[in-house]
Structure 1
Amino acid sequence: MSIRTILLHAAPDSGFNDRLAFAIGLARQTGGQLRAVYTLYPAGVPRVGRALSIYVNELVREAKEKEATLKAQFEAAVAEAGVTGMWHTVEGEVTAALRDEITFSDVTIVSETRYGTVDDELAATLPEHLALACNGPVIVVPTGKKVPGRLGKVLVAWKPSREAGHAVRFALPILALADEVEVLTVEEAKSDVAASGAKLAAYLATHGVNAKHRHVAEGSAATIIPQETQKFGADLLVMGIYSRSRLAEMILGGVTASLLVDPPAPLFVAH
């Protein structure tokens, strides 16, 4: 399997420049093509009532006006990079539109959910909802952090769970192209986590992946993973999300919730 279709969320929010730059870098490294989806209907606004209808119509009008500038930026960027890019405009709401397209894409690129400008709030994709509801992987690109031009180092945050297994299998084409891959395990109640991490590194080697295993015996995964991401200099962090229920994470806290709020690097996730 290889990366051939990269779905990019296009919107005039504060994260667009960063995720466009990341998407172009990924397209150049994998030989894939970019498919940008731009939505006109605002997220989270119901289509009921005359006042709301007037408000929504105004937002749609503004979205149409902003599209030309954003599309020109996208076309100039892909032309300069020498990659193939297509722009697609849909009438639908952003999360629903991306959910419909993910099935026909190898990976989808969004930003962390930010609440700043009106455009940020209207463009919010809630990436955890996409990953949970769809059958494909999502890359969450941090806003305002260094964007890697190439994925040379990849960190895999591993535990022997169904979600982590899905994430690694989806990420195999990227892992095979990386210079170095670190499989990170953190000690927890399951005593086999270290042995499982070593097995994963050996499995990845059969796919031509230059993988090494590192086990941390003490500490919280929510703390260790961001620290190791920075220490290793990872250009991408791969992990499964919500191996326990979202309600449990909301009450008790969890790795998924903390990393989606503030990703230490572009975050490749699957459920």
Structure 2
Amino acid sequence: MSIRTVLLHAAPDSGFDDRLAFAVALARQSGAALKAIYTLYPAGVPRVGRALSIYVNELVHEARQKEAGLKAHFEQAAAAAGVATTWQTVEGEVTSALRNEVTFADVTVVSETPYGTVDDQLAATLPEHLALACNGPVAVVPTGKPVPARIGRVLVAWKPSREAGHAVRFALPLLATAEEVEVLTIEEGDASVAESGARLAAYLATHGVNARHRHAVESPVGTAIANEAQKFKADLLVMGVYSRSRLAEMVLGGVTASLLTEPPVPLLVAH
């Protein structure tokens, strides 16, 4: 399988330029087309009460005003890279709109968005909601960090879970074209995870992936993964998300929550 369609969340938040640059670079590297979904209805705002209705109508009006400039920027960036594009405007809410399109795309690109402008706050929970709701891989691009021109070095945060397995299989087209891939396992009180990581590296080799395995005994796990991503100079971190319930992650904290909140590098995640 190869990547032929990259789906981009288009919105006037502070993360748009970074995720656009990532999506264009990914499409160019993969020979894929780039499709942008621009939604008018704000994420996470219910249609309840007169006051909220007035507020929502104002946000929709602002979204219409901002669309032309955002679309022009999108088309110019893609044209400069020789990437074919499609722009689609949707009346509905962004999470639902993207969820409906993910089945027909190979990768969906969103942002980790800081709480800054109103647009930032409306988009802030999109990565975690989309990762749980979608049946395809989601790329989460950090805001305000360097965007790789090419995905050449990939770190796989591995444990033998269904979610991690899904992420690796979705990532195979990128792993196969990467110059270096590292499979990272963390002890977490289970020595068998190291053997599983070595087996994954061997499996990836059968797909022509230049992979090596590194096992670490460090804690907390989220910090260890983030540190290794920086040390390895990864262009992309591949990982499964929410292998335990999202509620448990919210109450107890966890690897998914910490890395989605502050991605050290762009993430490719799957549930």
TM-based fold match above 0.5: yes
State the shift of 1:219 in Å: 3.0
Deviation sequence 1:73-117 (CA, Å, 0-9, x none): 001111111011111000011111111111111110000142210
| Partner-residue secondary structure (3-state), 1:156 | strand
RMSD between aligned residues: 1.1
**Partner amino acid for 2:171?**
A
Judging changes above 3 Å, is the alpha-carbon distance between structure 1 residues 221 and 32 closer, same or farther for their aligned structure 2 residues? same
Cα distance, 1:125 vs structure 2: 4.7
User: Counterparts of 1:84-103 in structure 2 under 5 Å?
Assistant: 84-103=84-103
Corresponding letter in the other structure for 1:15: G
Distance 2:215 2:40 in 1: 46
For residues 241-262 of structure 1, give each alpha carbon's deviation from its aligned partner in whole angstroms, at most 9, with x where no partner exists: 1111122222322111100110
Aligned match of 2:198: 198
Describe the superposition over 1:135-155 as per-residue Cα deviations: whole angstroms up to 9, x where unpaired: 001010000000000001000
The one-letter code matched in structure 2 to 1:255 is V
Question: Within 1, Cα distance between the matches of 2:78 and 2:222?
Answer: 36
Asked if the contact 1:168–1:238 (Cα under 8 Å) also holds between the matched residues in 2, the reply is yes
Partner of 1:258 in structure 2?
258
User: 1:6-155 to 2 correspondence within 5 Å?
Assistant: 6-155=6-155
- Work out whether residues 15 and 113 of structure 2, in 8 Å CA contact, stay in contact via their aligned partners in 1: no
> Are residue 236 (structure 1) and residue 233 (structure 2) matched?
no
* Contact 2:110–2:126 under 8 Å retained in 1: no
For structure 2, list consecutive stretches of 5 or more residues without a partner in the other structure.
Answer: none
Cα shift at 1:217: 2.6
CA contact (8 A) 1:78 1:84 kept: yes
- 1:12 maps to amino acid: P
Equivalent-residue separation in structure 1 for 2:128 and 2:47 (angstroms): 24
Whichever residue aligns with residue 13 of structure 2, its letter is D
Contact 2:186 2:221 in 1 (8 A): yes
Please state whether the residue corresponding to 1:144 is helix, strand or coil.
coil
Q: Which runs of 5+ in 1 are unaligned?
A: none
* 1:74 match: secondary structure: helix
Q: Once superposed, which parts of structure 1, at least 4 consecutive aligned residues long, lie more than 6 Å away?
A: none
- Percent identical pairs in the alignment equals 77
Task: Name the amino acid aligned to 2:72.
Answer: A
Aligned length: 271
| Counterpart contact for 1:163–1:270, Cα < 8 Å | yes
Task: Output the amino acid matched with 1:5.
Answer: T
Give the TM-score normalised by the residue count of structure 1.
0.97
Contact 2:113 2:143 in 1 (8 A): no
Q: Deviations over 1:220-271 (max 9, x none)?
A: 3112100100000000000001111122222322111100110000011001
